[in-house]
Structure formats: structure tokens, C-alpha cells
Chains A and B, each alone.
Chain A
Amino acid sequence: MSLIARDPWQMLDQWRKEMDQVLGGHPMVRDDATRVVGSDWMPAVDIKEEADRFVLHADIPGVKPEDIEVSMENGVLTIRGERRHESQESTEGYKRLERQHGVFIRRFALPDSVDPEQIAATGKDGVLEVALPKAQKQQPRKIEVKA
């Protein structure tokens, strides 16, 4: 009967971790912190991994590139900004209003392989591109075992 685990909770925890690895897939997919901070809308993103970098594209139409803030702290990439109304027009005269205005924020936990110093962002035609180069592979350090 030694096959029965003594601590079922530990097993459950182990199982959860394994499921996280399967479902969560990649660490960058996790952006659960976004929901905690108030965000009026969320831009859609694509994240691609290339041999030497990750590239993130976000659809942020109607926001000037200089009004988008990209920051990096404790391994978390944050994209935030605000979509304001195009001009100081009054709110009268609108026959259709589907666009959402206000603050947006998205966060992504980055894998350790990203070099935070080398991150660069550009904006064009309402699309933000963030290039996240991977750090040069560190040479594994050999530790000698002394007798």
C-alpha cells in the first residue's frame, strides 16, 4: 500500500503546478495582474518568439506613440496609456459610439532570458511593437569540488 501518497494535498499541489505548466504554457502569457488595476479597455496583442528575441505587437489605435508608456520592473513588462477623444468636440451629435476611451493597461511576466536593458518600442499606424532581445546565454559556471 506504499503507492498511496501520504499527503494528498501535496499531490494536488503538484498536479496543479503541472497543469499550470501545460495550460499556462509560456510565462509571458500570464497577465493576471491586469485585471486588478483598473483598465477601461484592453488592447489585443500577439507575442512571437524568434531565435534571438521576443516581439510583441499590440493594437492601440487612436493613441499617439508618445502617449504610450512601456516600462519594465521586476521582470514584468507594463504597457499603459490613455485613449482620449480626438478633439475637444462636444459629446453632442453622436449617432454611433462603439469606440472605447480611457485608460488601458496590460502586463506580461517576462521569461528570465529577456535582457531588460535592450527592450525597444516603436509605434506606427496604431500598432505598438516591442522588441525584447534575449540576453546572451551565460556560460555555465563550473564549480570545482575540492577534496
Chain B
Amino acid sequence: MSTLQQLQEGLDRAWTTLQTGWRALAQRASQALTRFLPGEHDADDETRALWAASPGWGLLAAEIREDDDEVCARIEIPGLEPEAIEIQFVDGTLVVSGEKRIAREERRGRYHVTERAYGRFERALPLPVDVDESRARADYTHGVLCVRLPRHRRAAPRRIPVRGG
């Protein structure tokens, strides 16, 4: 094999690796990437300035785990009051929404770094199996929302005998 061919092959391989890696990264990040829209209520000047400076997009990384009894969804949403989180079920999809508010502080100041996103958000997570949403439980610990959904108890499959004529 000539040097040129080897080089060509090496480049092809590098390109494929890069493509695969990029696709994996894009898939992983783009689903978690969530739009944050400015909230609606009584914003003062400082709050508005922070909305303008903050990214407008935030990563709400989620994981869904399934075992024989239940489906467990965990979503990272730091800095919320538990009451400010809304959980809904729409056609087999778990929809989590809420608003990340800016802590109202008496003291005025100037932001040097703004990387955190603020405002209203909504994240929809399709669930892998049928669940009994009426028995769902949710808790919020260290900024991680955990929703546990018991699987639907299905009746044991009934055998239907086929009779000959």
C-alpha cells in the first residue's frame, strides 16, 4: 500500500470516528438542551438584565431507567422550589415544566459571569412502557427530580384454544 493510500485510509477513519462521536454527542446533548423563556411576573430592571444576559438555553439532563416493577425518570433541574415544578402525563409522555426564578435579593449588584439559564422551561420525555400514572410518585432532592411510575399490571395472557372442526 502506498503512503498516500495509507494516509487516505487514516483520514477516512478519523473522519468516521469524528462523525460518530459528533452524532453521539449531538444526540446526547440536543435532547437535554431546553429553551428557557423569560418568566411573566413582576420583573424588575435587574431581573430583566439577567434574563438578557443569561444563555436562554439550559441542559436539563435526564435519565430513564426501567425494571420489572417500575419506570424511574430522573431530571436535573437545580435551584427550584418543589412547588414550582409541574408534572403531567400526556399520551405516554412525561412532561415536566416549571420556572427557574431569580432569587429576589435586596442587594443590588452587577453580574460578571452568567452561564445559568433562567425562566420558564418544559421538557417532554417519552416513556418506554405503559405506566400507571395514577400511582406516580415524585421527589426533589439536591436539584434532581425523581419520578417513579409503576408499570401497568396487565392480566396474565389468556390462552385461547383452537378447536378443530
A interface residues with partner B (beta carbon < 8 Å): 25-26, 28-29, 44-51, 55, 57, 59-65, 86, 89, 93-100, 123, 125-127
Interface magnitude class on chain B: 35 or more
Q: How far is the CB of A95 from chain B (nearest CB, A)?
A: 4
Q: Is B80 in contact with A49, judged by CB distance below 8 angstroms?
A: no
Q: Tell me if A94 and B143 are in contact (CB < 8 A).
A: no
Chain A residues contacting B143 (CB-CB under 8 Å) are 59-62, 125-127
Residues of A close to B77: CB separation below 8 A: 61, 126
- Asked whether, in the complex, the Cβ of B112 is within 8 Å of the Cβ of A28, the reply is yes
Q: Does B32 touch A at the CB level, under 8 Å?
A: yes
User: B109 an interface residue at 8 Å Cβ cutoff?
Assistant: yes
The verdict on A50 contacting B107 (CB below 8 Å), with A61-B143, A94-B64, A125-B79 known, is yes
Contact status of A98 and B32, CB under 8 A, knowing A61-B76, A61-B77, A62-B143: yes
Interface stretch, picked from B4-12, B113-121, B157-165, is B113-121
Q: Which residues of A contact B128 (CB under 8 A)?
A: 95
